[in-house]
Amino acid sequence: MTPFDYNQAFSRNLGVVSATEHERLRNATVAIAGMGGVGGDYLISLVRAGVGGFHLAEFDEFELVNFNRQYGASVPTLGRRKLEVMVEQALAINPELRITTFADGIQADNIDAFLDGVDLAVDAVDAFAVDKHPLLVNAASARGLATVAAVPLGLGAGMLAFGPQGMSYEDYFAITPAMSEDEKIVQFLLGFAPELYHLRYLDPSSINLKARKGPSSVAGCKLCAGFITTQALVALLHPDELRCVPWYTYLDARVGRFHHRRLWMGNRNPLQRLKSFVAKRRLAKLDAQR
């Protein structure tokens, strides 16, 4: 058996990154919150990109409904902890990885330890977990760290970056404590995809905020992984190039539309406020029909 050698295993990265940058990636530590729909793909992609250290948080187990999109979901992993499975997958690629695990997910009482000694935070928490996202972003920003996040949206994906130099989480999403959980989810998703191209072809009846259920495609998850891997490399190697909110990136591969631009005022933009109002009314109507 050929012994593992980091430089040979990831040598094809050279040219995209320099040898010096590759060594920086090897010594970097990235914190990924969530190992489910997109987080598992983020981990594997960043391992293959040469990142050498990780803090990983996840509390859930693999289920049959995860099979359509989640990296570690398979018959042999049914009922197993996602965190445990994904650590095995990562170590099978690079057995020299430095990994610290957080088996309860991210919580108020462990967020400091989760971010201690890391170079970048990645938000891969379920989109419906509306209170976990600001917990991560705000704690990372307070430490001077950037946070990158992406959400699969039909056959597309939206990507955002947060940091001390950008708008705050609350200002960008225009989320207030008085909002209901459903309203916070609408604001969250709208901030990732202001043009809402995916709504042209998604079946609205498949979206159920009360049940915290919505459609998700492996295509969208893979696009998220590409966005996050790219932005992680930018954040780690070229931080001056990272564009934080109100900048957003949104691609819908089915309709063939791509945007990378500033969303003036975030969700407080008048057009965003109108879209939010319409979306909430439509979802309320759907709920009433169920």
Question: What 3-state DSSP class applies to 128?
Answer: coil
* Structure token digits, residue 137: 């972003």
pLDDT tens figures, 14-43 = 999 999 999 999 999 999 999 998 999 999
Half-sphere exposure (Cβ direction) of 253: Cα atoms closer than 13 Å: 14
pLDDT tens figures, 239-268 = 999 999 999 999 999 999 999 999 999 999
- Give the CA-trace dihedral at 280, 67, 52, 167, to 10 degrees: 0
Q: What is the pTM of this model?
A: 0.96
**Burial label, 117 (beta-carbon count in 10 A; 0-12, 13-18, 19+):** exposed
pLDDT tens figures, 134-161 = 999 999 999 999 999 999 999 999 999 9
Mean per-residue pLDDT, 175-183: 90
Kindly tell me the sign of the dihedral angle through the C-alpha atoms of 111, 113, 114, 120.
positive
Among 54-63, 104-113, 153-162, 194-203, name the one with the lowest average pLDDT: 194-203
